[in-house]
Each structure stands twice: as C-alpha cells, then as structure tokens.
Amino acid sequence: MDFGKKSNSNSLLIPIIAGGIFIVLGGLAIGALTPSVFPDQASAESEQVDTLFRFLLVIGGAIFLLVQGLLLYSVLTFGKRDDDEEDGPTIHGNTTLELVWTAIPAVIVLILVIYSYQVWVDIREPNENETTITAVGARYAWTFGYEDAQGRTVADSQDVIRGALPDLHTYAGQHVVMSMQTQDVIHAFWIPEMRVKQDLLPGRTTEIRFTPIVPENGWDYTDEASGTQYNRYRVVCTELCGSGHGNMWANVYVHESEEAYLEILEREVFDPIINPPADPVIRGRQVIQNYPCSGCHVLSDVGWAGVTGPVLNGVGDRAATRVAGQTAEEYLYRSLHYPNEYLVPGYGALMPQFQPGDPAGANYMPTNDFYAIVSYLCTQTGSGESNCDLDNLRNVIDADNPDNPVTFGAGADATDVEATAEATAEMETTSEAEMTPEAEVTPAAEDTPEPDANIGVGS
C-alpha cells in the first residue's frame, strides 16, 4: 500500500470519505461549544467576535481531529509486532501529497485573514451619536469621567461640567467611546463580556469603542430605589501593573435605559457638583471616592481595603506628628499634592502626584477638592473630631496655588460652616464603634513597613 491516496483508490475512498465526514461534523460540534466557553454577550461587538471565534474553532477543531485521529490510528495500527524486526517501507515522500498539505492550509489561512480583517474593520467603525467616557488607570484602581449630557457649565466659564466615579455606567444601546489615560504604568482595560481590550499607555490617550446590549439571558439585577433593571460586569486590568494588579477591577453597570443612566449620573456625579454640600467634610467624603485612592489605601469609613498602601484610618491623629513644623492640615495637603516630599518609612515614592493646574490632565485635582479632601481626612481621628484649622488650610492651599485659589464655600458664613462641620463630626462618631478596632490596628500597620514596599504615600 502506498502512502499516496491515488493508488487503490477504490479501497481508500470509503475510509477517506468517512474520515472527512467525521472531521467536518466533529469540527462543527466543537465549534458549537463556543457559547459555553465565553461569558455573556453584552456588546454588539461580542456577537461578531464570537462568530469569528466559532469559525476558527470549527476549522481548528477539524484540524485537531484530523491530526489526533491520524496519530491515534497510527499508534493503534503501526505498532511493532513482537516478531517483526524489519524496518518499515522506504518511503521518502510524495510530492502531490506535500503540495496538497501546503496548499490547503495556505487557502484556509487566506480565508481566515480576510474574515478577521472584515470583523476588525467593522468593530472599529465609529458610530453616530457616540458618548465619550474617560477612564483613568492608576495603580490599582479605575476612575471614570463623565460629561454632563445636558451641557450645563461650570459657574463663570464655558466648560461643561465633568465629574468622576469609580464605577463605569452605561446603558444598552449607548455607543461608548472610552478615552483612556494612565497615571503611572501601563494598564489594560478589559470587559470580558464586551470582548473589548485596550492598553492605557503613558503619554498617550488611547480609545476603544463598544455598544452594550442586553444579553440573551436578560437582566440580572433590579435597582430597588428606582425599580429599573441593570447588569453588572467587571472591568479588569490585564496588563501587569504591580503588586495589586489582581485587585485592579471596577464594576460596570449597564442600565436598561438612558433615563436610568442619566438619573444615576445626576445623583452620583452632577448634583454634588452643582449643589455642593456647604460642609467641606461631607464634600470631601464624596470627592475622595472619585479618585483612585481605593486601589492602595485602607479607609474603613468609605469601605476601602487596598492591600498595598499605608492605612488612612486615624490619619488625622498622626498628621501633625509627621513632619516637624507642619500642622496636620499642612502635612495632609502636602502629602496629597507632593506625595514624594515626605514618605512614611517603608514606602516608596510612587503615589501619583495630583495637580490643580490642567483640567485635561490625567492627574487633575482642583484646589476645591484638595480643600475638601484634606478637611475630610482631618476628621479621621480616634475621637471623630477634626484636628485641623480649616481657615489655615485655605491659606496654605491659596499660598501654594496663587492661580487657582480655593473657592469652596466662598461667601458662606464661616461660623455656619464650622457649625455644620461639628454636627457632621458628631454624626460620624456613630460609626466610631466600627472604626475602633481598625484605629487600634492602624499604628502598628503603619509603623511596620510592609515587605511589599512598593506603594507609598506620605500619609
């Protein structure tokens, strides 16, 4: 029997046809498994990508069965008989056969290239009515920035209001363009259910497009307050970014309608900006959660449990003792604006440096937020009382940023603000019982440098 399929064509024809049918059906069967190895299809792109994958899997599955089948057949059939010490037949090759198994893969590859190219061009195509959402990656958290859809502007300027959240909100049918920047190393934005991934590169703004849809199995969650439905996924970082890489994920909420989406944004983002609370402590507690601090720090009051940075519980008590000659508010402000100036022993100089100057920058933090966040951190004390002089804090910030003075609460009666602050402080002492264990742990946690001395902040 010759290896070539030409000879004895009658006796070979049947097994070849049978094998061919088996391989084709097997490939189709393997390809049919596609949905079970992929997450839900939650974007328009995911349908195209999965169809391409299924095509690849059918062809790959057929090749798999062909090779493993021939291999298994050979192993079962061509094993040496006990009494047979002869060599096999001296066959050096078969030009026809070799041409065939060069040409067929070449044709398959050509088809795959053309098909993949079409899908790739298609999913990159910009849509009309796109909404741009910004994403900032910082070790080890995400921050998503939204622009007011109603076009309301910041007081005294033409700039449309922008605000940030640690979660990504969108709705089914929205044509989303993610515009992404990183504050430190390379990160990658991936929502498995959307089949989209793009690296965030230092010094560049990268983009990716997707359109969320309702997956086949419908909505998973219902918002109790509004009665609207939504799905929740994760956006995860897929480019190694350091010790907390595995923790760097955020929730993605796909709402059922544009109204539900806008309502959430109004409540969480724009209303606090348009009607800021008069108390800087309350405002500070709001805005600090819009920055990526949770990726590293522990702050039980807002539920942060970062694993790689110093603990912020009780930081108000320690702030005044850190640097000789600096008051608590001065120290906290400088730690936020110039994190490398003073480092808690055992921690490296790696916290992003927030800047008030450039609203388009990835590290932008307006002076009002500095003021509010420091005011809030000052209340992180064992007693719940603020340890800071907020007037002095305002002076410190203004002196350091003459071009961007603090405007928070300007015109309001100073005593009113202080009264509110005290009221809040009292309110917050209710949570003291929960905080106490943490507060006891804190000094030890901070004084003993973690071996992972990677992430640090002069807290």
Nearer to other proteins, 1 or 324 (CB): 1
Q: Select from 36-44, 142-150, 214-222, 336-344 the region that touches other proteins (CB under 8 A).
A: 36-44
Beta strands at 249-255 and 229-237: parallel, antiparallel or unpaired: antiparallel
Indicate whether 264 belongs to the interface with other proteins (CB under 8 A): no
**Closest Cα to residue 165, out of 241, 243, 272?**
272
Tokens of 10: 């009658």
Q: Which CB atom, from 45 or from 256, has the smaller least distance to other proteins? A: 45
Question: Which residue type is seen at 99?
Answer: L
Residues pairing with 143 in the sheet: 136
In terms of Cα–Cα distance, which of 436, 145, 179 is closest to 314? 436
What phi and psi, each to the nearest 5 degrees, are found at residue 46? -65, -30
Span of 119-127, 152-160, 315-323, 432-440 interacting with other proteins by CB under 8 A: 119-127
Among the residue ranges 194-202, 220-228, 328-336, 409-417, the one whose residues contact other proteins (CB under 8 A): 194-202
For 276, phi then psi, to 5°, come to -65, 140
Binding residues among 51-80 for other proteins as defined by CB under 8 A: 52-53, 56-57, 60, 63-64, 67-68, 70-71, 74-75, 78-80
Strands (E), 238-391: 249-255, 298-299, 304-305
Residue 128 lies near other proteins (rule: CB under 8 A): no
13, 32, 109, 412: residue in contact with other proteins (rule CB under 8 A)? 109
Which stretch, 151-159, 178-186, 318-326, 331-339, contacts other proteins (CB under 8 A)? Answer: 178-186
What's the closest the beta carbon of residue 455 comes to other proteins, in angstroms? 9
By CB under 8 A, residue 126 contacts other proteins: no
Contact positions with other proteins (CB under 8 A) in 347-376: 350
Residue indicated by tokens 């047979």: 84
Tokens (6 digits) for 384: 């719940």
The pair of structure tokens assigned to 374 is 């420091």
- The radius of gyration of the chain's CA atoms, rounded to the nearest angstrom, is 31
Measured distance CA(319)–CA(163) in Å, rounded: 29
Contact flag: residue 221 with other proteins (CB under 8 A): no
Rounded to the nearest 10°, the torsion over CA 425, 428, 432, 433 is 140
Verify binding: residue 346, other proteins, rule CB under 8 A: no
What is the nearest approach in angstroms of other proteins to the Cβ of residue 313? 19
Closest approach, Cβ 242 to other proteins, in A, equals 6
Question: Closer to other proteins at the Cβ: 112 or 320?
Answer: 112
